Structure 1
Amino acid sequence: MTLEETALARLTGNRLLYLDMLEVLRRGTAQVRRAGEDGVLLYDPPSEVWFVDAATPAALEEMLPLMEGCTILTGHQMWYKDKLAARFGFQTEQICRQSAWLNSQIPAVPPFGGEIRRLDQSWAVWTEEHYSHSFGGVAYMEDAIDRGMLGAFVDGQPAGFIATHVEGSMGMLEVLPEYRRRGIGEALLLAMTAFCMEQGQYPYGQVFTDNEPSLALQRKVGMTLSEELLFWLF
């Protein structure tokens, strides 16, 4: 088998946990740097993210020399988180659960008293100003709009938005405070799920383990959450 075939054979064995890795392979941007029955290492040049899956210490040791210069990574087993943080000098970590729409049917968007529209570049500055977890500046929002950012509008006024991150995960879900508890977050999440499916993308996201409202939202709309944890380091 080729490296990619070997990688797919392992990753499809736990599709929910590895859906982020399967997405970058599906779209053809990922480089398979190492693949075996005991783990897979991918590098995705557009996002500069390393995707680590290591079942054994031996597999991880094979991967480490291949990752020199790593500035951001996501790991799919918690046992090596601290080792990678120390190896590459990472000081920021995020612990998540993978969330995915596993139903083959495209979801319907529930009514919320408004409408969903695709946003254009004129919204880049506004969304950056209103995103509570902004980290990439206006340029990151411009790229997200190019990929497909959806906005919720009530009485013609912007009430929230959602997009996908550069590596493929759904995120940047923001509902303005005055519009919360109206079902807008649910509508946006399902609208983006439908958009991803229509584009042939895997609809998945990653939710911080301490964000109980977001975890509850995922469950409410019918997303499936992984039992296993994964982590980001940067």
Structure 2
Amino acid sequence: MEANETALTYLNQNKLLYLNMLEVLRRGSAELLYAGEDGVLLYDRGAEAHMLSARNRGALEKFLPFLECSDIVVGHEDWYREELTQRLGMWQETPCYQAAWLAEEPPELPPFDGKLRPLGLEWAPFIFAHYGKSDIGGLPHIEEAVRQGMLGAFVDGELAGFVGFHPEGSIGLLEVLPPYRRRGLGEVLLLGAVRLALERGQYAFGQVLVDNAPSLALQKKAGLTVSEDTLYWLFRPES
């Protein structure tokens, strides 16, 4: 319990940036490997990823032995990003901002000419075929996301877009099909996912690549707060 309190105290110093780590601790899917005034290291069983924040060189050196066999590492300070990439032999995705709903009350959905409703597993092949990043994790990844809870926006009885959650709890998998774009459905889906997360007692947050200007604009338009600092995902190449 003492280590958990130490971790929470540390992470809440920059809650927005570390909200992904706070979420996996909240739901109990994380193994806390280290917590101190100099950093926090944990392993999330849901995402099968190590997540870390290191304040100085000493903390980073403590963490490196845990990371040597990791397939996924999520770092939260830029000063060691290139070093981790090289020393661990991993490739890095473009850094991203964390965006979160921080208001006390859940958002109201904008009016739209359609219905928002949960999606069942029967929709997984359709989602897999139409999601822009369906190559990440394949159909099993989509099926698991549906089990975690995905929402679909239906217009005239047709599925026009969808949104869900990644394994560590972040909002994602947001896609509006081309014929239905520029109708505000992206904001409807995003806020629908925010409401669902809050109803479950989760933190409502997502991650947006720093070069994805349209998505960043959507987060801000919808009322989410975007972090000033960035985090990043490192992946071990498949052999």
Coarse TM-score class (shorter-chain normalised): over 0.9
Is the CA contact (8 Å cut-off) linking 2:170 and 2:207 kept in structure 1? yes
CA deviation string 1:115-145 (max 9, x = no partner): 1010000000000000001111111111111
**Correspondence for 1:192:** 193
Contact 1:53 1:75 in 2 (8 A): yes
Task: Give structure 1 stretches of 5+ with no counterpart.
Answer: none
Give the secondary-structure state (helix, strand or coil) at the position aligned to 1:207.
Answer: strand
- Letter aligned with residue 98 of structure 1: Q
The aligned residue for residue 210 of structure 1 is 211
Structure 1 range deviating more: 187-196 or 64-73: 64-73
Match of 2:144 in 1: 143
Task: Quote how far apart the aligned CAs of 1:179 are.
Answer: 0.5
User: In structure 1, what residue type is equivalent to 2:201?
Assistant: G
How far apart, CA to CA, are the structure 1 residues paired with 2:112 and 2:78?
39
Hey, what's the Cα distance between the residues in 2 that align with 1:70 and 1:136? 17
Equivalent position of 1:18 in the other structure: 18
Once the 2 structures are TM-superposed, how far is the Cα of residue 111 of structure 1 from its aligned partner?
1.3
Q: Structure 2: how far apart are the matches of 1:177 and 1:185?
A: 12
Is 1:163 aligned with 2:164?
yes
Mapped to 2, the partners of 1:54 and 1:109 lie a distance apart of 38
Q: Secondary structure at the match of 1:94?
A: coil
Residue 68 of structure 1: how far off its partner (Å): 2.9
Equivalent position of 1:129 in the other structure: 129
Give me the whole-angstrom Cα distance separating, in 2, the residues matched to 1:147 and 1:46: 11
Matches within 5 A, 1:162-181: 162-181=163-182
Q: Which residue of 2 aligns with 1:41?
A: 41
1:73, CA displacement in angstroms?
A: 1.2
TM-score by length of 2: 0.96
Which one is further off, 48-57 or 66-75? Answer: 66-75
**Identity rate of aligned residues, in percent?**
53
Match for residue 58 of structure 1? 58
Q: How many residues are aligned here? A: 234
